[in-house]
Structure 1
Amino acid sequence: MSDLIDAHQHYWDPARGDYGWLTPSLSALYRVFVPADLAPLRASCGVARTVVVQAAPTVEETRWLLDLARDEPSIAGVVGWVPLDDPHAAALIAELAREPKLRGVRPMLQDLPDDDWIAKADTARAVDALIAHDLAFDALVFTRHEAALATFLARHPALRVVIDHGAKPPIAAGGERGYAAWARAIARFAQFPQVHCKLSGLATEAAPGWDDATLAPWVAHLLATFGPQRLMWGSDWPVLNLNGDYERWHASAQRFTKALSSDERAAVFGGNAAAFYRLGADPAG
């Protein structure tokens, strides 16, 4: 399987001061994470390139990530942040899009106080700019965002959207009701042909001590709804370190997809991310 791509990971430096969620209480995460930290893990799993996703709702962090990516060949693309409802958002997107490794934006919907923001906010000019510059949209949502995100998706059929972390299913809580509501939301999102989904973040949503059996029904539903042509593997490293590790999650995901054809597995572990984010061929390969 050539050109394996991790479709979702992060780099950060807490000293920058704009990660409101990142506090010393998260001891496993509260330190600098840069490409040199991920390099041995990538090598162990055969992952050639990654998509680095914003972790702070600031343009300054996006510029920092783009600076980091400029001379780092393992960073295939950056998903940044812009204030989508700002009157000047379109101009800002046009400016940032001059950086060839900017491949999308993410508004961190899970952290906004209004679950319906994405359906109600005036983002039309920003979305038009994303489409014009061939940029994608990462949707960081829970089940509770189903109706609002569906409204947004119906409004913008030309916008490429990916659901981060399988919409963060309530794995640790368990229960048929939580599963049913999440499964319904995933099926609804999958009805929109412009939408992909990331096979990532599931370990973080599970209780400690998770194994393949813990995650199996959730992964099975993602495969059944989006299929191997619209699903892309991501590590969510280093957030993954809260309840797992890179090599363990990669191996688990490989087992979950062993029944797929070699072409389908290649799509999930790289091809889909390359096509969705317009990453192009690996210059090292």
Structure 2
Amino acid sequence: MTQDFSYEQIDAHQHYWDPARGDYGWLTPALSTLYRRFAPDDLAPLRAQCGVARTVLVQAAPTVEETRYLLDLARHDDSIAGVVGWVPLDDPHAPDLIAELASEPKLRAVRPMLQDLPDDRWIATANIARGVEALIAHDLAFDALIFARHAEALETFLMRYPALRVVIDHGAKPPIRDGAEGSPGFAAWSRAITLLARFPQVHCKVSGLATEAAPGWSDDTIRPFIAHLLASFGAQRLMWGSDWPVLNLNGDYARWHACAQRLLAHLDVRERAAIFGGNAAAFYRLNIDPAANPAANPAG
């Protein structure tokens, strides 16, 4: 059933891909649930069921070619409000490439897929200054795909570039399978979140949590993790995302959307509007009328 919302909802994190393109190293036939083409027509009815108007489309392959593929999809689909692409930030030609890609109005951020790099401290030690400065110059943001173990290196990076807008994907992938409060995994993750939330330029996505949970997860499974994210970042620095179709590994679009709505139902309407749309629109500088989002329009 379509729900009635008084604000425009934005899914801040979803993917489209086509395995035939050949540059998704992680996407193999063994992941049978995901090993097919996913396109806007697949997501449209799921968005409609949940009242989600638009999305932020995020890269899934560390190639410029995939970023161009996503930007081409975005040109032909108004539901894609912005694209998070990939560039080789440590390449000497990164500034020129960023300038070229930034000419596409829907490119709003880049993501270097830090979780997959062999060096957990790459973000603090790599020679990426010229690339990062180009992101700032073109008003592009940075998606940080991390685990808790990356927090100290990311802290160094954040101190170095206070003008760069950064969002942590998937709540830094907490070890939900290992238990909640009282478990060593929760303690390490919660410390990392508290550390990173000290930086005012950092936002965080309420996404990917179902994937990190064991099968059969419930609201109670997810509750302590969302509670800590909310306590750390506040409603004005969180944004909801589906992580669809990766979500299909351990849930579905409507189930995850409803779970997040219930766990955040105690917030007032402006706070919910912020998390489910307004914050993504503001953080990614999406070309959306602010009047559609009460959270971004105090007079409305």
**1:210 equivalent in structure 2:** 217
Partner of 2:90: 85
Corresponding position: 1:267 with 2:274: yes
What aligned pairs does 1:68-147 form with structure 2 within 5 A after superposition? 68-147=73-152
| SS of the residue 1:159 aligns to | coil
Query: CA offset at residue 277 of structure 1?
Result: 0.1
| Equivalent position amino acid for 1:223 in 2 | L
Q: What SS class does the counterpart of residue 229 from structure 1 fall into?
A: helix
Which string of whole-angstrom CA distances, capped at 9 and with x for unpartnered residues, describes residues 48-74 of structure 1? 000000000000000000001001000
Unmatched runs of 5 consecutive residues or more in structure 2: 1-5, 293-300
SS of alignment partner, residue 288 of structure 2: coil
In 1: Cα distance, 2:22 partner to 2:289 partner: 33
1:250 matches 2:257: yes
Counterparts of 1:240 and 1:173 in 2: how far apart (Å)?
A: 19
Q: Which runs of 5+ in 1 are unaligned?
A: none
The 3-state SS of whatever aligns with 1:64 is helix
Ranges of 4+ aligned residues in structure 1 off by more than 6 Å: none
Superposed CA offset, 1:112-171 (max 9, x none): 000000000011111111011110000000011011111001110000000000000000
Output the TM-score relative to the length of structure 2: 0.93
Residue aligning to 1:167 = 172
Q: Give 2:296's aligned residue.
A: none
Distance (whole Å) between structure 1 residues aligned to residue 264 and residue 275 of structure 2: 9
Query: Paired residue for 2:66?
Result: 61
Aligned counterpart, 2:207: 200
Instruction: Please list the CA deviations of residues 197-247 of structure 1 after superposition, one character each: whole Å capped at 9, or x if unmatched.
Output: 000000000000000000110110000000100000000000000000000
Secondary structure of the structure 2 residue equivalent to 1:28: coil
CA distance in 2 between partners of 1:269 and 1:146 (Å): 25
Write the distance in 2 (CA, Å) between the matches of 1:265 and 1:280.
Answer: 20
- Percent sequence identity is 77
Give the number of aligned pairs: 284
Offset at residue 282 of structure 1 (A): 5.3
Write the distance in 2 (CA, Å) between the matches of 1:274 and 1:87: 31
In structure 1, the residue corresponding to 2:43 is in which secondary structure?
helix
Give the deviation of 1:280 after TM superposition. 2.5
Which residue in 2 is equivalent to 1:10?
15
1:29 to 28, 34, 50: 34
Distance 2:201 2:63 in 1: 27
Return the alpha-carbon distance in structure 2 between the equivalents of residues 145 and 66 of structure 1.
Answer: 29
